[in-house]
A = this chain, B = another copy of it.
Amino acid sequence: MKTKQTIYSLLLFFVLLLCFGCNGKATSNKKENDQNPNVIIIYVDDMGYGDLSSFGNPTVYTPHLDKMAAEGMKLSQFYVAAPVCSPSRAALLTGAYPKRVGLEKGVLFPQSVTGLNPEEQTIAEVLKGKKYSTACIGKWHLGHQEKFLPHNQGFDEFFGIPFSNDMSKKEQEYMGRNDYKWQLPLLSQSDTLELDPDQTTLTKRLTERAMTFIKKNSEKPFFLYLAHPMPHIPIYASPKFQNTSVRGPYGDTIEEIDWSVGQILETLKTTGIDENTFVIFTSDNGPWKVFKTEGGSAGPLRGAKGTTWEGGQRVPCIVRWPGKVPAGYVQRQVITNMDLLPTVANLCGAQLPKRKIDGRDVSKALLGADRKLESSPFLYYASNGKLEGIRDGKYKLLVLDEGTFLFDLESDISEEYNLFEKHSEKVNALREKMKKLDSIITLERRTVGSL
């Protein structure tokens, strides 16, 4: 009898070991979180399509982002809805074309009295409906007046700068302008903590702040929007990264951002929420190439920041969610930053905004490698808000002052071979489609936020 008891005890022990030991991770006590994954969007400023090693850069060293791509998915045809900052961020956070929310014309400046309308619903507000803790850490640039600041757009916390890091007297003087009077503030909610903060410390301070937020919220669902102000010109890196990159000062800056991503992912691991967190890394628009080697690279793409060539609006994008997003896969479907709001809403079981948006739920494309996405046309608006082009399937029509262009973006990845004369019917059909889609948005255009 004793032997039998011992055998039963041993069997029970092994069964329990199998249940709780090996599958410990899967049956953790964070049951609630499993249905409410944490969401982190890391949105950097002016990083080009070709600035990461995993996107083909030969000299920048980005091991953490390369690893993130190897463990997650690289999106090779990911677009932002504008080639400049404020409208791109409006599109990201609202899931709508900047024109739909009245923010398509250029960027906001320290003298601006407009901003993203508080009536618009951001990703943060969508997730507040599911009781997520939310933080915006970094650069906002959707209105620096009190009523437009992050805490009025669904973010519990804001720590960062309200507009671009060159929008200060100090930086503009360095860049040759003497009539600029504003200083760059570092804000906590709407309180100014510092004026003209030491920008060499920014990437590090924002990273640490983000890590604190993650740790504080590791037991409940959260949404972190970490918007690094760099590598927007002027570029800065902390002393530890200065003069370390073979790519020069721009490389130092990228490599510190890469370090930052490593810190964020490491924090997810140490807090045990790695497998319950959906992380997206991308950029707000293409590289600011007028600054030559101080600016980044669009890789094989034509054009840069401020243009509707691919280099202006197609940006690197990596998503990672262990066990959910297939590892090492390259997703070549056309996906845009407007798609993130409905995608995140679906993944988190949250309600979509009541106002009309333009993004689509692309969770199937992100979670299953082989899922095909129905093609959807994408409109290109210039930095002044003017409609300039459309991508529909593999074709792109671009109507510029310098000419009309038709490209097959799948076989002609660098927009080198104009098919305009060969395919006049296609040109006409696309021109009609583009105008029609834009006219609907124009009709439905909502008002920008104003004081």
Which of A's residues lie within 8 Å of B, judged by CB? Answer: 49-50, 53-59, 61, 63, 66-67, 70, 74, 76-77, 246-248, 250-251, 292-293, 297-300, 314, 328-330, 332, 394, 408-414, 416-417
> Contact partner of A328 among B61, B70, B330, CB < 8 A?
B70
Copies of this chain present in the complex amount to: 2
The residue on B at minimum CB distance from A316 is B56
Chain A at the B interface: mostly helix, strand, loop or mixed?
A: loop
Does B414 lie within 8 Å of A297, measured CB to CB? yes
Specify which chain B residues have a CB less than 8 angstroms from the CB of A61 in the assembled complex.
330, 332
**A416→B292 contact, CB < 8 A:** yes
Checking B53, B246, B332 against A58 with a beta-carbon cut-off of 8 angstroms, the contacting residue is B332
A50–B246 CA distance with the chains assembled, in angstroms: 21
Bound complex: CA of A350 vs CA of B179, how far in Å? 70
Whether A59 contacts B297 by the Cβ 8 Å rule is no
Could you say which of A49, A58, A330 has the most chain B C-beta atoms within 10 Å of its C-beta?
A: A58
Instruction: Give A393's nearest chain B residue, CB to CB.
Output: B246
Query: In the bound complex, what is the Cα–Cα distance between A43 and B293 (angstroms)?
Result: 33
B66 A330 Cβ-Cβ under 8 A: yes
Q: Are the C-beta atoms of A293 and B412 separated by less than 8 Å?
A: yes
Can you show 24 pairs from A to B with CB atoms below 8 A apart? A53-B330, A54-B54, A58-B77, A58-B300, A58-B314, A58-B332, A59-B76, A59-B410, A61-B332, A63-B330, A66-B330, A67-B328, A247-B410, A247-B411, A248-B408, A248-B411, A250-B411, A292-B412, A293-B408, A293-B411, A297-B300, A297-B413, A298-B300, A299-B299
Q: Which residues of B contact A251 (CB under 8 A)?
A: 411
A59 near B293: Cβ-Cβ < 8 Å? no
**Inter-chain contact A300/B50, CB cutoff 8 Å:** yes
Closest-by-CB residue of B relative to A327 is: B70
Whether B58 and A413, one on each chain, are in contact in the complex, defined by CB atoms closer than 8 angstroms, is yes
Q: Which of B53, B330, B332 contacts A76 (CB 8 A)?
A: B53
CA distance A352 to B300 in the complex (A): 39
Q: Which of the listed residues A63, A67, A247 has the most CB atoms from chain B within 10 Å of its own CB?
A: A247
Residue among A59, A298, A300, A328 facing the most chain B CB atoms (10 A cut-off): A300
Q: In the complex, are the beta carbons of A76 and B58 less than 8 A apart?
A: yes
Supposing A61-B330, A70-B70, A328-B70 touch, asked if A410 and B56 sit within 8 A by C-beta, the answer is no
A87 to nearest B CB, angstroms?
23
